[in-house]
Each structure stands twice: as C-alpha cells, then as structure tokens.
Amino acid sequence: ACIDRVGLAKTSLSDVAAEAGVTRQTVYRYFPSLADILSAVALDRVEEFAGRMERHLATFADPAEVAVESVVFGVRAVPDEPYLGLLLKAGEADVFTVAVTSSQSFALGARILRNVPVDWTAVGVTTDEDFEGLAEMLMRLFLSFLQYPSTPAHTDERLRALVRRWIGPALTARP
C-alpha cells in the first residue's frame, strides 16, 4: 500500500512499519532491506502473473510457438507488472535474477508449460525434468533479453523471429 500511495522511490522501511502498525525493528526482523520486502511482494503476486501467462500461451497450438511466446510475453509484461517489475525499477536486478533462476521459479515455469494444451509429447517433452529444463532455458533467455536489451530494441515480431529461429528447431515433432 505504501508503494501504491507514495511510489517506490519514496518508500522506506519506516513507511512499511507505520503502514503495518509495527515497529521498524519488527520489520527488520523479517525483512532486512526494502529489496527483501519487494521480493516478498513480488512472490505474493507471481501466481496472478502465471495465470495470465498461462491463459495467453493457451491461445497457441504449437509447442515451439508456446516457447517463443513465453519469452516475448515475459520480456514485454514483467516491466509493467505493478509488483513483479518493482525489483527492476528499484535497481534490484540481482535480487530479481536470483528469484527468476531459482528452482522454485523453474518449477512454476514447468507447471505453466505443462498446463498449456499442446502436444508436448510429440516434441519429446514428457517428464517433469523435461518441463523444468525447458522452463529453465526459456526463463534464462527471457532474463537476458529483459536485463540486456538489444540496441536498438527488438520489436515484438523481431524478438519472436529470433527466438523461433534458435529455439523452434529444438521443439519440432519427433519421428
């Protein structure tokens, strides 16, 4: 609520403590820094984001297109997410990177992919390990494009074409 009211730049741990009706020391006991609070808030909102991504990906009929679109969706949507994008806006890219490259995040990515109604078995993605490996590759790719954008920045279509060219062949039907 503090961030919504006064903005990220003006929010301090003291503001959070006052909003929660506790002392600053209590906040510090659970969250040593504002970045830790932002991480907790982002984690709280990640399921909502995952649901939106899953619904978006469900509009694609091909595993390769689902993979491509997952990268594009992440690159375009995360910076504008009210809470997920906060870590990037706060200059906490390292905290964001650690969160995105965690086993918990890869498991979430695998769940999103698994829930998209395409024929994953046709492209050899059948086990939990397969889904988690694919999720890890896509999330690391998304992270790279997000944190180190091309100059000039890729359009959505150019980004799709680039990811499709190099990821698509790995997700073609197996004989």
What is the Cα 126 distance to its own chain's centre? 23
Cite the residue boundaries of each domain of the chain with CATH code 1.10.357: 34-171
Averaged pLDDT for residues 93-111 = 81
What architecture is the 34-171 domain classified under in CATH?
Answer: Orthogonal Bundle (1.10)
Least confident of 13-17, 35-39, 99-103, 154-158: 35-39
Q: What is the pLDDT of residues 14-70, one digit of tens each?
A: 777 777 778 778 777 777 776 666 666 666 678 888 999 999 999 999 999 999 999
Q: Over the chain, what HEC string results?
A: CHHHHHCCCCCCHHHHHHHHCCCHHHHHHHCCCHHHHHHHHHHHHHHHHHHHHHHHHCCCCCHHHHHHHHHHHHHHHHHHCCCCCHHHHCCCHHHHHHHHCCHHHHHHHHHHHHHCCCCHHHHCCCCHHHHHHHHHHHHHHHHHHHHCCCCCCCCHHHHHHHHHHHHHHHHCCCC
Q: How confident is the model at residue 169 (pLDDT cuts 50, 70, 90)?
A: very high
Q: Does residue 171 carry a pLDDT above 90?
A: yes
In whole angstroms, what is the distance from residue 97 CA to residue 81 CA?
16
In whole angstroms, what is the distance from residue 85 CA to residue 26 CA?
26
Q: How confident is the model at residue 160 (pLDDT cuts 50, 70, 90)?
A: very high
Cα Rg of the chain, angstroms: 18
